[in-house]
Amino acid sequence: MCLLPILTPAGPGNTALADVGMAASVVVALMWATRERFQLKFPYILGTLLLVLGGGLAALTASAPPSVALVLVQDAVLFLWAATLALGRHNVAIITAATHAWCRTAPVFAGVMVVAYLIGLDALTGVSARDGVRASYTLGDPNLAANYLVVSLVLMAACRRPRSAGVRHTGYALVLLAIVFTGSNGAMFTLLIAVVLCLALSQLRRRGALAGALVLMVTALFAAVLVLVVMPRVDMQSLREQAAGSIPLLRDSFGRSAGSTSQRATILSEGTQLFLDGNATGVGPARVKATLEATQAPYTKEAHNDYLATLLERGVIGAIGLIALVAAIGVRCVRLVIGTVPAPYSDAVPRAWLLAVLAPVMATAATFYEVLHFRHMWTWLGIVAALVLALQDQHRAGGEDVP
């Protein structure tokens, strides 16, 4: 957990020191499960299996270089890492250790990076000419860093860690400031979604479905007024131009939003054409940019969109796998929202239902990032799986139906 935000310097295929820890944990967990003769569960296996199968078939049919095999190995390692955390159903100490470590690491990491950013320590904050003044910290990419911090905020709220309210709120502030320094527009949007859904679910749990729905309706009304009434009367281009000529952080965040939107639209258009001109099997994992270059496309970039990337790289089989994975995540998150995890787990994650907020957050982020290889996403999935399995075990022990 402590190594999740330490991804640079990167090894072959963007591997990192965190991957060594994950692989070691998988081996130890397998030995433990074998000794204890646990009935092993592999959450999300159908979706992951189809994603790997689709990627492998695409690589073979497209005669992709052997290096793409590393992408499939990473898929397997991340899946097994989540399955390892899911063993927390048998020992709450696994979930306690994982959540406590994450909730302590994130604010400390954010605090160190905020100080480093303010004093101009670019070697630590990852500020480079490529991204302007946007900080990527030790994660190698500003958007990846921002997404990790957004997820960490929700996890801290769900676990109520650190326990001291004052320390926790200070941690929130540090993490928020670290997000701002990344200059990630997508992160700010997903953070807004997270805040609204956290409020809605909290009201649902405290006062019932009507109160939760009311929060969503008020938010939807506000958004509708903003989009339909306010924004048409505001010259967004003028605001972007002013931002582009103001302080560097605004210039490299809001000031570049029009260009980013245009680039993503171009990538979507080229990707769609690439799929229509190709076949249903895909071009192979991490091969979109190379394929666009080979076809002399005017704008050659990776998809930066998990939905498009999966369809292009892993074909129809991979797309079905992604649908299965999303469905599996959705079912588990619904169970967290309507259920109550047993006492030992509720001590570790007092507001477990807030973890469900991260499903729409990551689903939204997947429209402008490729989140399927985000290590912190699979860590969250493993924690969710363990809590839901513990919830199911509790209901079975009580002779009740699983919700």
pLDDT of 299 over the 60 cut: no
Task: Please report, as a single letter, which amino acid is at residue 95.
Answer: I
Give pLDDT, residue 244. 62
Q: Are 390 and 341 in contact (CB under 8 A)?
A: yes
pLDDT score of 315 more than 70:
yes
| Cα 139 versus chain centre, distance | 13
Task: Give the pLDDT of residue 290.
Answer: 77
**Mean pLDDT, rounded, for 99-106:** 97
Residue 73 has pLDDT above 60, yes or no: yes
Residue tagged 């957990």 (tokens): 1
Q: One-letter amino acid identity for 31?
A: M
| Mean local confidence (pLDDT), 85-92 | 95
Using 50, 70 and 90 to split pLDDT, how confident is the model at 401?
very low
- pLDDT for 293 equals 73
pLDDT of residue 12: 79
Closest residue by Cα to residue 135 from 126, 143, 123, 124: 126
In this prediction, residue 236 carries a pLDDT of 66
* AA identity, residue 351: R
pLDDT score recorded for residue 396? 82
Write down the H helix ranges in 246-342. Answer: 248-251, 257-277, 288-294, 306-338
Residue 365's identity, in one-letter code, is A
Where is average pLDDT lowest: 2-11, 90-99, 176-185, 331-340?
A: 2-11
Share of the chain above pLDDT 70, in %: 90
Q: How far apart are CA 195 and CA 154, in angstroms?
A: 9
pLDDT in tens, 186-207: 999 999 999 999 999 999 999 9
Looking at residue 403, its pLDDT comes to 41
pLDDT of residue 256: 60
Residue-wise pLDDT for 226-277, tens only, equals 888 887 887 767 766 666 666 666 666 665 655 566 677 777 777 777 777 7
Distance from C-alpha of 381 to C-alpha of 208, rounded to nearest angstrom: 26
User: Which of 49-63, 93-107, 219-233 is the least confident region?
Assistant: 219-233
pLDDT given at position 97: 96
Judged against a pLDDT cut of 60, whether residue 76 lies above it is answered with yes
Would the pLDDT of 25 be above 90? yes
- Is the pLDDT at 158 greater than 60? The verdict is yes
Q: Which residues lie below 8 Å from residue 32, measured CB to CB, with a gap of 6+? A: 87
List pLDDT tens digits, range 325-380.
999 999 999 999 999 999 899 999 999 999 999 999 999 999 988 899 999 999 99
> Taking residues 79-93, what's their average pLDDT?
96
User: What is the residue-averaged pLDDT of the chain?
Assistant: 89
Model pTM? 0.91
What are the residue ranges spanned by the domains of the chain? 12-397
- pLDDT for the residue numbered 326: 98
